[in-house]
Amino acid sequence: MEFLSYLISGISLGSVYAIIALGYTMVYGIAKMLNFAHGDVIMVGGYISFCAMFYLHLPNVVAVLLAVVVCTLLGIFIERLAYKPLRNAPSLAVLITAIGVSYFLQNSALLIWKAAARSYTPVVTGTASLLDGRLSVSYISLLTIVACVVIMLSLTLFVSKSKMGKAMRACSEDKAAAQLMGINVNATISATFAIGSALAAIAGVLLCSFNTSLMPTTGSMPGIKAFTAAVFGGIGSIPGAFLGGLLLGIIEALAKAYVSTTLANAIVFAVLIVVLLVKPAGLLGRSVPEKV
Amino acid sequence: MTKAKKKFFSLKKTTRIDLATYLGVIIAFVVMTVLKDGGALNRKTLGLLVPICCYMSMAVSLNLTVGILGELSLGHAGFMSVGAFSGVIVSQSLLTAVPSAPVRLAIAMIVGASFAALVGLLVGTPVLRLQGDYLAIVTLAFGEIIADLVNCLIVGYDASGLHILFNLSGKKTIDDLGLDAAGYAIIKGAQGATGTKTIASFTAGFVLVMLTLVIVLNLTRSRAGRAIMAIRDNHIAAQSIGLNLTKYKLMAFVTSAALAGAAGALYGLNYSSLQSVKFNFNTSILVLVFVVLGGLGNIWGSLLSAAALTILPEALRQFADYRMLVYAVVLILVMLATNDPQFKTFFAKLLPHRHSAEEKEG
Amino acid sequence: MKKKFAAMFTAAAMVFTMAACGQKADTPNTPSTDGSGDQSGAEVQTFVLGSCGPLTGGYAIYGQAVVNGAELAVEEINASDSTVKFTFLKQDDEGDGEKAINAYNDMMDNGMQVLVGPTTTGASIAVAAVTYADRTFMLTPSASSPDVTADKDNVFQVCFTDPNQGTGAADYIAENMAGAKVAVIYRNDDAYSQGIRDTFVKEAEAKGAFEIVSETTFTVATATDFSVQLTAAKNAGADVVFLPIYYEPASVILSQAKAMSYAPTFFGVDGMDGILTMKNFDTSLAEGVMLLTPFSANSEDEATKSFVKTYTEKFGVEPNQFAADAYDAVYIVKAALEKAGCTGDMTAPEICDALVGVMTSLSVDGLTGKAMTWNAEGEVSKAPLAAVIENGQYVMK
């Protein structure tokens, strides 16, 4: 029973990581860049939905939608201004710019909303009681898990079936060839950022509902964890991000419960290193054989 | 044209750049020392001298991994951490045995470098077979693990020698070391190293930067260095001509770790208090920014950008609340500008020498 | 493309020139001109007082409170008919030793005579060593480790020390909740949290009046989820959970405990203060929480009321204990300066020696304690008050 309750807290934490990792992996898979500002877009999503609910007293659903819209616009805006001019630059230059954007978002949030933490009211409250009350799962955990699965499945469908999705895959394979086939590479990459940022907004709402506190630095640590999760599952792979996030959460929870709360983080990273040594492209990643 | 000048220009271009780099560092040191002794520097500038030397050495050593070996490392601060804390332990336990501060500092830096090299070897051997972003994430993971482990470290010193305790359960404290009455704590878990005697000096910083330069430049220009760059440019081709990939990759990686360790020891001995959170992901990223901004493989570029980006947030202090925001904007603008084709041609026209240097980099 | 680039370049160039200009403008300010200017006519003495803390980054929540609290006190004093006036400097130290020393040096370059800061423990220890060598008077509002003041006669604290808090909490639980099963959840990468935990556990073992049944930790990297720690406490049968942590993670723990229907008595320390004024916090979650605090933002005390009101109006957020400590710190400095009879044209070391001489005989009434006094080690003596949260209000016990 104890094990089950630890497992459940691991799964709910893992699905929070997974939902952030999906955004990371989406952008990486297509634009081939590590968007370190992703965690901060999540924070912005959290603040927007907070303000909508707390100051404007909008219904939760509307608040979430508003956060999605604002973050999507923000994502497109960032991409236009900071990443697009670097389309042909070395990938490290883009990485540094992303870090600059991350600092920018964090410090803007600090100026706008101040440093004092806000307490976030979860979008859904309450707890489901299972097995005669011996096991309890909060509704927000259930919502996160469901949202995560739905997003993962619809993203997989979108990328494999839709026209835009096919264009994205083409860009991911070979930008120049995709261009020759008449695909608007720039528009496709912008669309990827829009989707990634929309996901970040949803992730922001769920993260804050789970963690119930909101600060300008809220997004950075989960961002790094989710990035790890994305690599763990095989970066660029959508089911991989889901699996990676989930496993990361479960390992973290079980390590806390059975080994040491102090070393939980170190254990997560140690497992990651071992997995990558055995499977160098992550759990579900494709290892591309190199041509000579 | 004088004879010396003629001789200088008859040298190979890389040699010329290297000599100019050494000369630049020496001149900068002499100028700063004269200004310092003349009392022409304000306190803030004085306080920045040692950290700038540390960051310069960090940037040059990371450039060896990222620019010359071509492997992205996001855990360079981890090596700095190993060097810093081992350096602090050594220096604090030799307080009575070695009364001379410069000697103690030198010993601490050597020990810091050795420990960091050892850890570099342990980490590098298995992980260097990974590539690209996967290697990056493993180095990131390593940096986080080091930070967590140092958090558990409790170290004290008394008449019977050094006492080290790993507080893995989180339940031990400094009292569990069983120090005698004259004993003192060196590292107290999360509280970090406190009460460290600060013995770092600008001269030591200068020596560190010069040593780093000599080691990195000589390695790069040697046969081994050419092999390392061949691996960077095309590892399959390099392997096909019989180069031992693991050996050369490790050579670069461990050297880089050792130098970071020495820089860490100097850094650790410049402040009376030091916590392991200092050497987290953000510090690794900061050093990476130095390297990328200075140009991959460009050693003097790393030196310049390390100094510039350490001074920048300090120079922006009068922006008060907007300081870090302005810093972020400057960072983005500089990255955009340096990667803008027009900017490059503009610069190439302005500085004819720069043009050839750029071609070499590309 | 060309235009855009030109605009970008100009912007960058402007930023750099502005930075350069500002620096030059600072230099002539160095000898405290404001100080010497005022004193000629009246007997008003103006001192340059500096304060620093993390204004950006993860600890900004504490640094901003400290700097704001100090600024508010300075403004009040300057608007009053006090003969001691201050020129106020503030700097961001990012909660880091290296940056804190840079911030301190920057303020010294600008003529600072007295330091009210830094905010965090690590940064304070680093700066304290420098102030000791320089002979600058340092009064930290919130750095609570004994290492900050150890062996330095010029460094004083306004807040309780960590051992002080740990002992206080253990005493209170032993007296009022004897036989309790206590779980401890603390942050093991934080000096404050670990410091309190260490003394608390030591005292608990020495007293033997209550039992520690579970001890779990978290770090900044694992602060997203506390359900495992709470489950462990619940399974160990703990009826008291001791939280020697700040209110921000504590608020998360309270809400996650409620979500898993676990309702022990939560016992906090001074870092817990601020939880009730956290924006949008559901105060019903904190019902029955006990804490040791020197300050209460919803106290009926007149001085506190007016402080909370002005602070909230000025900065748009409610003050917490950090702000109150810093506010007190400025008044303590003022009282000490008056008692020592310092004048604005004295150098920082002269002021330091004068203040060190009077600190141990000083007694100040502030928001965080009545009749605060200091010993030669720099530790404050004031009574911690045990409070219980009832109906969203502190009820003093």
pLDDT digits (tens, 9 = 90+) for C7-64: 544 444 444 444 444 333 333 333 444 444 444 445 899 999 999 999 988 888 889 9
> What CATH code is carried by the domain that includes residue B163?
1.10.3470
ipTM for the predicted complex comes to 0.89
Q: Answer yes or no: is C328 within a domain.
A: yes
Candidates B194, B158, B149, B196; CA nearest to B178 is B158
Contact B48 C102 (CB under 8 A): yes
B135 near B73, Cβ under 8 Å?
A: yes
For the CA atoms of B223, B227, B228, B229, the dihedral, rounded to the nearest 10 degrees, stands at 100
Summary mean pLDDT of chain C:
85
Distance from CA of C197 to the nearest CA of B (A): 9
Residues C154 and C42 reside in one and the same domain: yes
> What is the rounded CA–CA span in Å between residue B3 and residue B95?
52
Task: Give SS3 for C47.
Answer: strand
Residues in chain A closer than 8 A to B169 (CB atoms) = 260, 262
Domain membership flag for residue B5: no
Tokens of A95: 């990485």
Do C289 and C167 reside in the same domain of the chain?
yes
Total domains in chain C come to 2
Q: Specify if C72 maps to a domain.
A: yes
Q: Cβ–Cβ of A281/B134 closer than 8 Å?
A: yes
- Domain span at residue B271 reads 13-361
Contact B319 C11 (CB under 8 A): no
**pLDDT value at position A289?**
63
Within a domain: residue C265? yes
Is C387 part of any domain? no
Can you tell me the distance from the alpha carbon of C366 to that of C325, in angstroms, rounded to the nearest whole number? 9
Domain boundary among C293, C313, C330: C293
**Whether A4 contacts A135, CB under 8 Å:** yes
Q: Cα C57 to the chain's mean position, in Å? A: 16
Mean pLDDT of A270-279: 89
> Residue A262: which of C188, C225, C252 has the nearest Cβ?
C188
Q: What is the band of B173 on the pLDDT scale with cuts at 50, 70, 90?
A: confident
Determine the pLDDT at residue B60.
97
Distance CA A42, CA A38 (A): 6
Taking only the tens place, the pLDDT of each residue in C189-232 is: 888 898 899 899 999 999 888 999 999 999 888 888 898 999 99
Q: Could you tell me the strand order of the sheet in which C155-157 lies? A: C84-92, C45-53, C114-116, C137-140, C155-157
CB contacts < 8 A (A, B): 124
pLDDT number for residue C31: 40
CB contact under 8 A, C56 and B323: yes
The residue length of chain B stands at 362
Is B325–A282 a contact, with Cβ atoms under 8 angstroms apart?
A: no
A274 touches B: beta carbon within 8 Å: no
Rounded distance between C-alpha atoms, residue A204 and residue A130, angstroms: 28
Both structure tokens of B18: 């290297």
Quote the minimal CA–CA distance from A114 to chain B in Å. 11
- Mutation target to probe the A interface, by most A beta carbons within 10 A, among B133, B166, B298, B340 is B133
B contact test, residue of A107, A228, A251, A288 with most B CBs within 10 A: A107
**What pLDDT, on the 0 to 100 scale, is given for residue B1?**
55
| Beta carbons of A127 and C261 less than 8 Å apart | yes
Tokens representing C385?
Answer: 């008050």
Residues forming beta bridges with residue B194, ordered by sequence position: B273
pLDDT at B355 over 90: no
Cβ-defined contact of B333 to C8 (cutoff 8 Å):
yes
Residue A271 sits at the chain B interface (C-beta within 8 Å): no
Confidence at residue C16, expressed as pLDDT on a 0 to 100 scale: 46
pLDDT digits (tens, 9 = 90+) for B215-251: 999 999 999 999 999 999 998 899 999 999 999 999 9
CB contact under 8 A, A115 and C60: yes
Please give the residue that has the higher pLDDT: either A285 or C71.
Answer: C71
Boundary residue ending a domain (C264, C293, C322)? C293
Which residue from C322, C311, C335 is spatially nearest to C47, judged by alpha carbons?
A: C335
Task: Specify whether C98 is located in the same domain as C214.
Answer: no
- CA dist., res. B349 & res. B336, Å (int): 19
> Per-residue pLDDT for A288 more than 70?
no
pLDDT band at C1 (very low <50, low <70, confident <90, very high): very low
For residue C101, pLDDT over 70 is answered with yes
What the block records as the tokens of A204 is: 């922001």
pLDDT band at A291 (very low <50, low <70, confident <90, very high): low
Residue C396: inside a domain, yes or no? Answer: no
The alpha carbon of residue C138 is apart from the nearest alpha carbon of chain B, in Å, by 16
Q: How many CB atoms lie within 10 A of CB B342?
A: 14
| Residue B274 pLDDT > 60 | yes
Instruction: Establish whether the linkage from the previous residue to C264 is cis, with ω within 30° of 0.
Output: no
**How far is the C-alpha of B318 from the C-alpha of C86, rounded, in Å?**
19
Number of neighbours of residue B24 by Cβ within 10 angstroms:
14
* Residues of chain A neighbouring C219 (CB-CB closer than 8 A): 262, 265
Tens digit of each residue's pLDDT (9 = 90 or more) over B147-158: 889 888 999 999
In whole angstroms, what is the distance from residue C305 CA to residue C319 CA?
A: 11
Share of chain A above pLDDT 90, in %: 55
Cα–Cα distance list, A148 to A18, A196, A203, B154, C85 (Å): 7, 14, 9, 42, 59
Q: For residue A166, what are the contacts with CB-CB under 8 A and spacing of at least 6?
A: A160
CA-only gyration radius of chain B, Å? 22
What would the pLDDT profile of C110-155 be if each residue is shown by its tens digit? Answer: 999 999 989 999 899 999 999 999 999 999 999 989 999 988 999 9
B350 falls in which pLDDT band (50, 70, 90)?
A: low
Query: What is the rounded distance in angstroms from the CA atom of residue C10 to the CA atom of residue C7?
Result: 5
- What per-residue confidence (pLDDT) applies to C125? 93
In angstroms, rounded to a whole number, what is the distance separating the alpha carbons of residues A94 and B351?
26
- Taking an 8 Å cut-off on Cβ atoms, the answer to whether B141 and A224 are in contact is no
Given a contact as 3+ CB pairs under 8 Å, which chains touch B? A, C
Report CB contact under 8 Å: A118, C56. Answer: no
pLDDT band at B353 (very low <50, low <70, confident <90, very high): low
Phi-psi region of C94 (alpha: psi -120 to 50; beta: other; left: phi over 0): left
Q: Do B324 and C56 touch (CB under 8 A)?
A: yes
Task: Show the tokens assigned to A141.
Answer: 């955990």
Write down the pLDDT at residue B351. Answer: 59
**Statement to judge: residues C279 and C323 lie in one domain:** no
The torsion angles phi and psi of A71, rounded to 5 degrees, stand at -65, -35
Chain centroid to Cα B316, Å, comes to 24
Residue B112 within a domain: yes
Q: How close, in Å, is residue B194 to chain A by CA atoms?
A: 21
Kindly state whether residues C180 and C288 are assigned to the same domain: yes
pLDDT above 50 (res B92): yes
B317 contacts chain C (CB < 8 A): yes
Residues C94 and C118 in one domain: yes
Residue B354 has pLDDT above 50, yes or no: no
Of C158 and C30, the structure prediction assigns the larger pLDDT to C158
Inter-chain residue contact C194 with B278, CB threshold 8 Å: no
Give residue B356's pLDDT: 44
Give SS3 for C91. Answer: strand
CA distance C215 to C236: 10
Selected residue of A15, A56, A119, A141 to mutate for chain C interface (largest C Cβ count, 10 A): A119
| Nearest CB to A273 within list B138, B328, B329 | B138
- CB contact under 8 Å between C106 and B151, yes or no, is no
For tokens 């330095």, name the residue: C152
Report if residue C298 sits inside a domain.
no
Which of B129, B170, B335 is nearest residue A96 as measured by Cβ atoms?
Answer: B335
The answer to whether the CB atoms of C222 and A261 lie below 8 A apart is yes
The answer to the question of residue C348 being in a domain is: yes
Question: What sign for the dihedral angle of Cα B124, B126, B132, B136?
Answer: negative
Query: pLDDT by residue (tens digit) across A159-190?
Result: 999 999 999 999 988 888 999 999 999 999 99
DSSP calls for C217-259: EE-GGGTT--HHHHHHHHHTT-SEEEE-S-HHHHHHHHHHHHH
Least confident stretch, A59-68, B188-197, C294-303:
C294-303
Report the first-to-last Cα separation within chain C, whole angstroms.
69
- CA pair distance C185, C225, nearest whole angstrom: 12
Please state, in angstroms and as integers, the Cα–Cα distance from residue B336 to each residue in B237, B252, B332, C332, following that order.
33, 30, 6, 50
In a domain, B6, yes or no: no
Q: Give the DSSP H or E segment for C232.
A: helix C227-235
- Per CB-CB distance under 8 Å, the chain A contacts of C227 are 5, 9, 12-13, 253
β-pairing verdict for C114-116 and C137-140: parallel
Read off φ and ψ for residue C101, nearest 5 degrees. -70, -40
Rounded to an integer, what is the distance from CA B77 to the centroid of its chain? 8
Note the pLDDT tens digit of each residue in A99-152.
999 999 999 999 999 888 889 988 888 888 777 667 778 888 889 999 999 999
Instruction: Please list every residue in chain B whose beta carbon sits closer than 8 Å to the beta carbon of residue A114.
Output: none
Residue C157 token pair: 């604290």
- Asked if residue B79 is part of any domain, the answer here is yes
- If one counts the domains in chain B, the total is 1
Which regions of B10-125 does DSSP assign to beta strands (E)?
none
- Greatest Cα pair distance in chain A: 63
Average per-residue pLDDT in chain B? 89
Q: Are B140 and B281 in contact (CB under 8 A)?
A: yes
pLDDT greater at residue B360 or residue C226:
C226
User: Contact C252/A252, CB-based, under 8 Å?
Assistant: no
Please give the pLDDT value at position B46: 93
Report the percentage of chain C scoring pLDDT > 70: 89
C272: tokens are 């817990």
Distance CA C221, CA C384 (A): 31
B:126-145 residues touching chain C, CB 8 A cutoff: 144
For B6, the token pair is: 């003629």
Spatial CA neighbour of C123 closest among B277, B91, B82, B318: B277
Residue finishing a domain among C249, C269, C293: C293
**C53 C-beta neighbours (distance < 10 Å), count:** 36
Domain that holds residue C125: 38-159+305-381
Are C314 and C365 members of one domain? yes
Residues of B within 8 A of C96 (CB-CB) are 278
Higher pLDDT, C298 or C158: C158
Q: What is the DSSP letter of B66?
A: I
Which CATH number belongs to the domain containing residue C188 in this structure?
A: 3.40.50.2300
> Which of A34, A103, A266 is nearest residue B149 as measured by Cβ atoms?
A266
Strands, E assignment, chain B = 153-158, 161-166, 184-188, 193-194, 273-274
Note whether C151 and C254 are same-domain residues. Answer: no
DSSP 3-state of C61: helix
- Residue C19, domain member (yes or no): no
Q: Are residues C248 and C132 in the same domain?
A: no
Write the residue in A103, A108, A281 that is nearest to B327 by C-beta: A103
Contacts of B153 in chain A (CB under 8 A): none
Q: How far apart are CA B335 and CA A101, in angstroms?
A: 11
Q: Does C20 touch chain B (CB under 8 A)?
A: yes
Output phi, psi for A57, to 5 deg.
55, 40
Tell me which residue in A100, A224, A261 faces B332 most closely, judged by beta carbons: A100
Residues 6+ apart with CB under 8 A from A170: A177, A178, A181, A183
Estimate the share of chain C in helix, then strand, then coil, as percent rounded to the nearest 5: 50, 20, 30
B8 falls within a domain: no
C-contacting residues in B 262-281 (Cβ below 8 Å): 267, 271-278
